[in-house]
Structure 1
Amino acid sequence: MTRYSTKLFYKYYKQWISLYKENAIRPITLDKYYLAQRKLRELAPDLHLNQLNRRTYQDLINRYAETHERKTVLDFHHHLRASLVDAVDDGLLEKDPTRRIIIKGITKKQRKKTKYLSMYELQTLLKHLNLGPELNWDWFILLVAKTGLRYAEALGLTPEDFNFETQELTINKSWDYKSKHGKFQPTKNKSSNRTVMLDWKTMNQFQQLIKDKQSHQPIFVPRGKRVYNSTINNILNRYCKACEIPVISIHGLRHTHASLLLYEGVSIASVAKWLGHANTTTTQQTYIHIIQELENKDTDKVLQHLSKLA
């Protein structure tokens, strides 16, 4: 089989995407092909085309299936298979290595605990909060739920970060809560420096809550005291159980915020910018199940529209 192509599979696949898919499919679909290409490179960086046969391809699919549900594995297989069928037609491969492949995957029972809440569940949680005239961790939970800030970013907020006229929050630092004495530190990456909007009601509430706070001091961190991640998560745990909704972490509120934006039709690019992700790839990888669900709904809409045409 040495007379066939010895090009690395992931490199061939990337060139194939560029040749056959660029400007031919929707950007969101194209991104899925490139997402598959990056995963292929991660799983099989040294796999050459002339090494591909039914066994080596099955091994590749099996390794991907170890951490993904069957539906996701099937999508990954379909993305790769299209390029390999062309490789056979072009004489780069002797046989189609994807024939009679077995698709596996983890079951839903094996998936990790809930990462985000539905709109109803989030509303139930927020109604349970004790939002009094003094700042407390319930106000912190509300703010993270409404902005999607990272835990350390929310801890690093100071009064000067609030612009009450434009209803904007400036995110340009975070709080090193892991340090014994606590201190300001840079955000996770350059893209994390951003502004996010808040509704006028929440802004007015915080204007009253922080009016007596020092402008350069974090509003949620008591001076000289250390703040632990577990403190907030324990509070959330109690509240979720009391509300009879899935238990999530403070980071789960960030996932909830992002997922609700996606369900409302906000673009992946806008969500990535809002969350402070370095690129849309991170957003796609984190919310791939939601993106696929939305794409299925789009397909249903297209079919419904086509059925109305004479």
Structure 2
Amino acid sequence: MRSTLSKFVAVVTAGAVTLALAACGSGDAGTSAQKLRVGTLTDAPPSIYLENGTFTGYDNELLRDIAKREGFEVEFVGTEFAGLLAAVATNKFDIGSSTISTTEARKKTVAFSNGYSTGFTTILTKKGAGLKDVAAFGGKRLGVVQASVQDDFASGKVPGANVVRFPDYNAGFAQLKAGSLDGWVVPKDIGQKYIDQNPDVPLEFGYTVETKDTPSAFAVRKDNKELLKKLNDGLAKAVADGTVARLHAQFFKTEPLPKELEQGGPGLPVQNPGV
């Protein structure tokens, strides 16, 4: 789940396609088509971030591509992750785009598109800390983004950890840098980005675990089946023609692309109970 101050809200209109998308906008089914509002984060590179006033990153550029294929526009709005899924469920946003892991608990609130990435959860530490296994973090202060999968991981799978919650990634990183945290639980690609962008801060990866069973996907309202279909159709086309592979290589310099998402691959299907 992946730079700005807490509660910063920025709006950028994206895409040049103006074709209609009936029944998929913020209004009720049957109303005139309108631009879709996308809730996203501003500080989680390389997946989702704000650069020179424009929302970008792997997730958001992929969503722009899908929108062009499927004939709708997207308007990105910066938000905090903790309230994102509820905002999608209550129609504040049409789509959630924030490297959202497709857990069973989250499927009770929203529906998910098929997956567009997998990854690793890691605990970033100061260099030389020697915290390489999950048991080593008992009694340690671990920073997480509130309501993220990393929050679930630190709370449920790191026995004895003192979990400290933050509204965004920048806030957690600042505390790790200042020395008030022993570890910062993040998706590994985001951790690598902070290491690369802050060579003066001695950091390293501690414990790391793969999260392939809950791929990242776009979130939509459970009753918006037409939009869900469009997202899945557009994503399938982007996998088939190699666009997903190209965008992944653009934003993830060292992380391998899952074989399922290679050009012509089968994709990463996500099941939504009751949808």
TM-score norm. by structure 2 comes to 0.24
Q: Say which structure is richer in strand.
A: 2
Bigger radius of gyration: 1
Q: Give the TM-score, by structure 1 length.
A: 0.22
Higher relative contact order (CA 8 A, sep 6+): 2
Query: Where is the helix percentage greater, Structure 1 or Structure 2?
Result: 1
